[in-house]
């Protein structure tokens, strides 16, 4: 059931550019929790981001996505907390990616 919390995508199209999936990994941190990383390199940053990657970093606990960092065209780098629908703009350190 935890697989339903994140999007399963092998290819993303952003700015009419097709990107190849670079990394997709899910690590169980307990019987009811996981961390997931999905990363695509892009030829140029998405609108609102300063780096050339499309990414999703998620943490799920008890069947709920409790924390997700991602970037979308126009929104840039941001996080979603406790599935509230609220997003917070974030600043990523270059070394974090």
Strand partners, 76: 72
pLDDT recorded at residue 39? 95
53-61 vs 64-72, strand pairing mode: antiparallel
Task: Average pLDDT across each block of 10 residues of the chain; the chain has 97 residues. List them in order.
Answer: 50 60 95 95 89 93 90 85 69 51
Looking at the 3D structure of the chain, how many domains does it have? Answer: 1
pLDDT recorded at residue 14? 47
Host domain of residue 83:
2-96
pLDDT recorded at residue 25? 96
pLDDT recorded at residue 84? 64
pLDDT recorded at residue 35? 96
């Amino acid at each position: 059931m935890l697989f339903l919390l994140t999007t399963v995508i092998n290819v993303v199209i952003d700015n009419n550019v097709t990107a190849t999936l670079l990394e997709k990994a899910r690590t169980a941190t307990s019987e009811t929790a996981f961390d997931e990383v999905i990363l695509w390199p892009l030829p140029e940053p998405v609108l609102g981001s300063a780096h050339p990657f499309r990414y999703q970093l998620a943490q799920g606990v008890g069947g709920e996505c409790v924390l997700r960092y991602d970037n979308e065209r126009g929104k840039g780098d941001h996080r979603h907390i406790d599935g509230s629908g609220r997003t917070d703009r974030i600043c990523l350190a270059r070394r974090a990616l």
